[in-house]
Amino acid sequence: MLVSHPLSYAVYRFFSSFPIACFFLALLTDVAFWQTTNLIWLHFSEWLLLAGLVFGAVAIIVALIALVARWYGPTWFGLLGQGTAFALAVLNSFIHTADGWTAVMPYGLTVSIATVLVMAVAGLAGRRGGANV
């Protein structure tokens, strides 16, 4: 039986909101770099990816604890989607370590788009129905 534990749900939602914002903003800064070729946008993307990965790792750990303890957490599909988005963000972070144009175009921008799309699908399809959502 699934037990609703409000603290685990609040902690999970708190930490899972940061990667969503960071990875989406990294996509926007990649687009800004693509349009302007100003290196500051590349550095913004790098920092946003790092922040999203740190908070994403904490969110995944909290979600795993919630699933093992049978508290409220994401579905297994949602957790798989989060793991996939996290893996794409790690790959994207490695791609962004290159210098200049090759750090974003074409692979960095493509992986940023894929990360945001995977996050959106996992977020929508991985929610549990009911009053706790």
Is-contact 53 83, C-beta < 8 A? no
Task: Quote the pTM value.
Answer: 0.85
User: pLDDT digits over 52-110, tens only?
Assistant: 999 999 988 888 887 777 666 667 787 888 889 999 999 999 999 988 888 889 999 99
pLDDT value at position 129? Answer: 47
* Dist. CA 30–CA 84, nearest whole Å: 20
Is-contact 84 121, C-beta < 8 A? no
pLDDT value at position 80? Answer: 87
Domain positions in the chain = 6-125
* Dist. CA 103–CA 72, nearest whole Å: 39
pLDDT at 116 over 70: yes
Quick one: tokens of 116? 């945001």
What does R_g of the chain's alpha carbons equal in angstroms?
16
The CB-side HSE value for 20 (13 A sphere, CA atoms) comes to 15
DSSP letter (8 states) at residue 98: S
Coil, strand, or helix at residue 116?
A: helix
